[in-house]
Structure 1
Amino acid sequence: MSRGSRIKEGSVIDHIQLISVGDMIEAINGQSLLGCRHYEVARLLKELPRGRTFTLKLTEPRKAFDMISMRSGGSRPGSGPHLGTGRGTLRLRSRGPATVEDLPSAFEEKAIEKVDDLLENYMGIRDTELAATMVELGKDKRNPDELAEALDERLGDFAFPDEFVFDVWGAIGDAKVGRY
């Protein structure tokens, strides 16, 4: 499941005794969230009708790692497949094996930070997962039109204005050439 789709300290759900900070949200009303990004989970939660009962399926992070260890057959340290250097992100998927993704490069980190700032300025939200997705979609595009197409295809629900897309294109370009 996505990094970031977990219960945060101080949130409404954090006050429910059966739920712990860091628990991973595995499903909402039976709909699997494995492989979903943080902003997709947040959107699904926001779309739940107020006053109506819903169900969450949660997994403690430790149990999730144990499940992966059992599946990979690694019963002792170093015996199973190497999961990385510790500088990666574990991503659970609804189909296919769990993978460890490398942390963003210095350019990507700076671009994500700049795009996250733009999200706050234009939309009043901060969401590094959304910013990271936008950088991933835009880093190999040749012009703002290609970026706009990619954003519409993947993130069309947001209906980003042209001016915002142009600024995102500029932020990614600035980070590429080291202009911070």
Structure 2
Amino acid sequence: MENLLGSHVGLEDFIFAHVKGNQKEVNVYKSEDSLGLTITDNGTGYAFIKRIKDGSLIDAVKTICVGDHIESVNGENIIGWRHYDVAKKLKELKKGESFTLKLIEPKKAFEVEQRSKAGKSSAEKIGTGRETLRLRSKGPASMEDMPSETKTKAIEKIDDLLELYMGIQDIDLATTMFEAGKDKGNPDEFAVALDETLGDFAFPDEFVFDVWGVIGDAKRE
């Protein structure tokens, strides 16, 4: 309420109130290796769908939306799992087979309008559930514009490198690494930035160099 009264949150904003809404069980045939799904969590054991890539396998399943809480995969309860564990579980599902997701829709409050599109008519509302869900430790969840295609591809490549070197996929971590390097002039500056922001991970030099290569390619496009 303090944020609302202080004009940090507008009445035209879209807010997810993550209390239990409608439950739904969805069967999906995994015809491709990639589902086009990005997972996040709130740090207390609840995983949510953060992003659905346009044109992806999941994008074609219109009953699955950004903001849905994933309760179980093929009957296995995943409450308590971190988002990268859920992502790994989904990635390991066999191609050519069907799987079942048990989802819970969040309660929604207020109408939807992207903050980055301020000034556009109120008729240009979000209603598709195909944008990006941003969860914050303080303040409300919000919907944000998806990044450019070049940035998205670079972050996905970094995410793949994370899996190669660390055995996990974490799109939030990959995004943080991209942001740390996008304005750096050389790999040494990038390495220093990584140490400042993500020093606890102790990334190997070879990995840092490979990530810098991805960022450099993106900057040249």
Q: TM-score range by the shorter chain?
A: 0.5 to 0.7
Provide the rounded CA distance (Å) in 2 between the counterparts of 1:149 and 1:8: 39
1:124 Cα deviation after fit: 2.6
Cα deviation digits, residues 30-83 of structure 1 (max 9, x gap): xxxxxxx945x99xxxxxxxxxxxxxxxxx4423xx2xx1xxxx3xxxxx4624
Q: Which residue of 2 aligns with 1:122?
A: 165
Q: Which moved more, 1:157-166 or 1:143-152?
A: 143-152
1:172 Cα deviation after fit: 0.9
- Structure-to-structure mapping, 1:78-89, within 5 angstroms: 80=111, 82-83=113-114, 85=126, 86=128, 87-89=130-132
1:164 Cα deviation after fit: 1.2
SS, match of residue 62 in structure 1: strand
Provide the rounded CA distance (Å) in 1 between the counterparts of 2:220 and 2:179: 16
Match of 1:142 among 168, 180, 185: 185
Contact 1:119 1:125 survives alignment (8 Å):
yes
% identity of equivalent residues: 57
User: Which consecutive residues of structure 1, in runs of 5 or more, have no partner in the other structure?
Assistant: 29-36, 43-59, 75-79
1:109 Cα deviation after fit: 1.3
- Structure-to-structure mapping, 1:16-165, within 5 angstroms: 16=77, 38=83, 60-63=104-107, 66=108, 69=109, 74=110, 80=111, 82-83=113-114, 85=126, 86=128, 87-165=130-208
1:8 Cα deviation after fit: 6.7
User: Which consecutive residues of structure 2, in runs of 5 or more, have no partner in the other structure?
Assistant: 1-17, 19-37, 42-46, 48-69, 87-103, 115-124
- Give the root-mean-square deviation of aligned CA atoms: 3.4
Equivalent position amino acid for 1:10 in 2: V
Alpha carbons of 1:8 and 1:172: their partners in 2 closer, same or farther (altered >3 Å)? farther
Alpha carbons of 1:98 and 1:124: their partners in 2 closer, same or farther (altered >3 Å)? closer
Q: Relative CO higher for 1 or 2, CA cutoff 8 Å, sep ≥ 6?
A: 2
Contact 1:91 1:99 survives alignment (8 Å):
yes
Provide the rounded CA distance (Å) in 2 between the counterparts of 1:8 and 1:113: 25
Alpha carbons of 1:90 and 1:128: their partners in 2 closer, same or farther (altered >3 Å)? closer
Equivalent position amino acid for 2:106 in 1: R
Provide the rounded CA distance (Å) in 2 between the counterparts of 1:142 and 1:122: 24
Q: Which residue of 2 aligns with 1:10?
A: 73
